[in-house]
C-alpha cells in the first residue's frame, strides 16, 4: 500500500538486492509500491560476468510488473571501479539517483577471533564497510552535483549495538557502519542528504537461516530450541520479517522522516533498545 506520495517517480539503488528472500529485494518491493524506480545491484553468477543472474533478472521483471522501471546491474562491492561504474550506469539510465540503500553484506564468515584469517576479516570489512563507503561517495557526489538532496539508508544490524560470539568482523563492520552513518549525516546535511542506519535483529533470509543453523550448532541445541530461545528474548515474541525492515526503509526515504539524520534505528521487536 502506497503511503508516501512524495516518493513516486524517484529512483533508488539497492545494493545486494538480488536475492528473493533477502532484505534488499523486500525493500525494493516496498519502495516500488511507492512508485520508486529500482536499480538492483548484486554479484553476478561469476565474479567476472557482466550479466545479471537469472534471479536478478526475474526479480527486476517482477518489479516492472508492479509498474516501475527496474534495472539489474552486476556489481562487486569489493571493487571500487565496479561500484563507480554501477552508479554511472544507473545515473545514465535514470538521469538521477534519489536514494541509496547500502544493503549488501557478508555475514557468513563466522569464526572465533583466534581462528579467523586476515583474508576473511578483510572480505567482511571490505563488503560491509568499505563497500558502503565507496557507494556512498559515488552517489553523494552525484546527489551534490544534482542539487536535489537525497536519502541514504545503511542496513546495519543488531550487531551494530551488541556483540555476538564468532562474529568479530561482522560486529566490527556493523558498529563501524553506524559511525560512517553519523559522519556522512554531518557532512551531507547541508546538501539535504539524510543518512540513517537501520539495525534489524534476526530475519530469516538466506543469510539469517544460515546463521540460525550455525548458532544452534555452536550452542549444541536443536534448531527448534534455538529459535524458541530467540523468540523468548524478543518482547514482541517473534523474529523480524523482511517487511519490518522494508517499512522502516520506506519511512526513512520519505519526507515523513525529513528531520531524521545520523540515526541508527532499531527494528528488533524491542530486543535491542540502545
Ligand atoms: N538477515 C538478518 O538477520 C539480518 C539482520 C541484520 C542485518 N542484516 C543485514 O542485512 C543485509 C542483507 O542481508 P540478508 O539477510 O538479506 O542476506 P542475503 O545474503 O540474502 O543478502 C546479502 C546480499 O549481499 C550480496 N553481496 C554479498 N557480497 C557482495 C559483494 N561483494 N558485492 C555485492 N553484493 C554482495 C549478496 O549477494 C546478497 O544478495 C546485510 O547487510 C546483513 O548484514 C541481516
Do residues 169 and 193 share a domain?
yes
φ, ψ of residue 13 to 5 degrees: the values are: -95, 130
C-alpha cell at 94: 535514470
Average pLDDT, integer, range 210-216:
93
Establish if 272 belongs to a structural domain. no
State pLDDT tens for residues 64-75.
Answer: 999 999 999 999
Is 273 inside any structural domain? no
Domain count, the chain: 2
Let me know if 170 is a catalytic residue: yes
- Residues 67, 194 share a domain: yes
Angle (CA) 96-102-106 rounded to 5° is: 145
* 145 and 212 together in one domain: no
pLDDT bin (cut points 50, 70, 90) of residue 1 is: confident
Pocket test for ligand 1, best of 15, 50, 104 (most atoms within 8 A of CB): 104
160 and 213, same domain (yes or no): no
Q: Which ligand 1 atom is the nearest neighbour of the CA of 105?
A: 41
With the most atoms of ligand 1 within 8 angstroms of its CB, the residue from 105, 176, 244 to mutate is: 105
171 shares its domain with 103: yes
pLDDT (average), residues 100-104: 99
pLDDT recorded at residue 46: 76
Spell out the residues 6+ positions from residue 189 whose beta carbon is closer than 8 angstroms to its own. Answer: 261
Q: What is the pLDDT of residues 16-46, one digit of tens each?
A: 999 999 999 999 999 999 999 999 999 998 7
Identify which has the larger pLDDT, 47 or 18.
18
Say yes or no to pLDDT of 254 above 70: yes
Q: Is ligand 1 within 6 A of the CB of residue 267?
A: no
Whole-number pLDDT of residue 6: 98
Statement to judge: residues 112 and 228 lie in one domain: no
Integer angstrom CA distances of residue 272 from 54, 75, 159, 202, 205: 37, 32, 10, 11, 19
Average pLDDT over residues 110-131: 97
- In the numeric block, which cell numbers belong to residue 200? 534489524
Q: Write down how long the chain is.
A: 274
- Cα separation, 135 vs 214, whole angstroms: 30
78 Cβ inside 6 Å of ligand 1 = yes
210 and 90 belong to one structural domain: no
- Using alpha carbons only, what angle is made at residue 28 by residues 158 and 171, rounded to the nearest 5 degrees? 20
Average pLDDT value over all residues in the chain? 97
Distance 204 CA to ligand 1 centre (A): 12
Helices (H), the chain: 23-33, 54-65, 80-94, 118-125, 131-146, 168-188, 206-219, 223-233, 242-253
Distance of CA 73 to the CA centre of its chain: 16
Q: Which domain holds residue 24?
A: 5-201+241-266
Same domain, 125 and 166: yes
Distances in whole angstroms, Cα of residue 71 to Cα of each of 11, 141, 230: 10, 21, 37
Whether the per-residue pLDDT at 77 is higher than 90: the answer is yes
Residue 148 neighbours by CB under 8 Å, 6+ apart: 96, 98, 192
Q: Where residue 195 sits, what CATH number does that domain have?
A: 3.40.50.720
Would you list the DSSP string of 108-139? ---B-TTT--HHHHHHHHIIIIIHHHHHHHHH
Q: Is the CB of 22 under 6 A from ligand 1?
A: yes
For residue 62, tell me if it sits in a domain: yes
Q: In this structure, is residue 194 part of a structural domain?
A: yes
My answer on whether 67 and 192 are in the same domain is yes
Q: How much is the pLDDT for 45?
A: 87
Query: Which ligand 1 atom sits closest to the C-alpha of 23?
Result: 16
Q: Does 252 contact ligand 1 (Cβ within 6 A)?
A: no
Does 108 map to a domain? yes
pLDDT of residue 139: 99
Quick check: is 271 in a domain? no
Q: Which pLDDT tens digit goes with each residue over 182-206? A: 999 999 999 999 999 999 999 999 9
The reply to whether 215 and 175 lie within a common domain is no
Distance 147 CA to ligand 1 centre (A): 30
* Band (48; pLDDT cuts 50, 70, 90): low
Same domain, 129 and 221: no
Which band of pLDDT confidence, cut at 50, 70 and 90, is reported for residue 178? very high
Any domain includes 119:
yes
Supply the pLDDT for residue 50: 79
Question: Does residue 153 sit in the same domain as residue 234?
Answer: no
- Ligand 1 centre to CA of 104 (Å) is 5
Distance between CA 196 and CA 180 in Å, rounded? 10
Of 70-74, 125-129, 216-220, the one with minimum mean pLDDT is 216-220
Is the CB of residue 76 below 6 angstroms from any atom belonging to ligand 1?
yes
**Span 133-153, mean pLDDT?**
98
- CB of 130 shorter than 6 A to ligand 1: no
**Is 237 within 8 Å of 271 (Cβ atoms)?**
no
Query: Does residue 17 contact residue 70 with C-beta atoms inside 8 Å?
Result: no
* Residue 88 domain-assigned (yes or no): yes
Task: Decide: 163 and 272 in contact? Cβ < 8 Å.
Answer: no
Of the pLDDT bands very low, low, confident and very high (cuts 50, 70, 90), residue 157 is very high
Catalytic residue among 4, 170, 226, 251: 170
Amino acid at each position: 500500500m502506497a503511503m508516501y506520495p512524495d516518493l513516486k517517480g524517484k529512483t533508488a539503488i539497492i545494493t545486494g538486492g538480488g536475492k528473493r528472500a533477502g532484505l534488499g529485494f523486500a525493500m525494493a518491493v516496498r519502495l516500488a509500491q511507492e512508485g520508486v524506480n529500482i536499480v538492483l545491484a548484486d554479484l553476478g553468477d561469476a565474479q567476472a560476468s557482466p550479466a545479471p543472474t537469472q534471479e536478478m533478472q526475474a526479480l527486476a521483471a517482477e518489479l516492472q510488473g508492479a509498474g516501475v522501471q527496474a534495472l539489474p546491474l552486476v556489481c562487486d562491492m569489493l571493487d571500487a571501479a565496479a561500484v563507480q561504474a554501477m552508479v554511472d550506469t544507473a545515473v545514465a539510465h535514470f538521469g538521477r539517483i534519489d536514494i541509496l540503500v547500502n544493503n549488501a553484506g557478508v555475514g557468513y564468515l563466522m569464526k572465533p577471533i583466534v581462528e579467523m584469517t586476515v583474508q576473511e576479516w578483510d572480505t567482511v570489512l571490505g563488503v560491509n564497510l568499505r563497500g558502503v563507503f565507496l557507494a556512498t561517495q559515488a552517489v553523494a557526489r552525484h546527489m551534490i552535483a544534482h542539487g536535489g538532496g537525497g536519502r541514504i539508508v545503511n542496513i546495519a544490524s543488531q550487531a551494530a549495538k551488541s556483540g555476538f560470539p564468532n562474529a568479530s568482523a561482522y560486529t566490527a563492520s556493523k558498529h563501524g557502519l553506524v559511525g560512517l552513518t553519523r559522519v556522512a549525516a554531518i557532512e551531507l546535511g547541508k546538501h539535504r542528504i539524510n543518512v540513517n542506519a537501520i539495525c534489524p535483529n534476526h530475519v530469516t533470509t538466506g543469510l539469517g537461516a544460515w546463521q540460525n543453523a550455525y548458532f544452534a550448532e555452536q550452542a549444541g541445541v536443536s534448531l527448534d530450541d534455538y529459535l524458541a530461545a530467540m523468540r523468548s528474548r524478543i518482547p514482541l515474541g517473534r523474529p523480524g520479517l523482511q517487511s519490518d525492515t522494508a517499512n522502516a526503509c520506506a519511512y526513512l526515504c520519505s519526507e515523513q522522516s525529513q528531520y531524521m539524520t545520523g540515526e541508527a534505528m532499531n527494528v528488533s521487536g524491542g530486543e535491542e533498545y540502545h
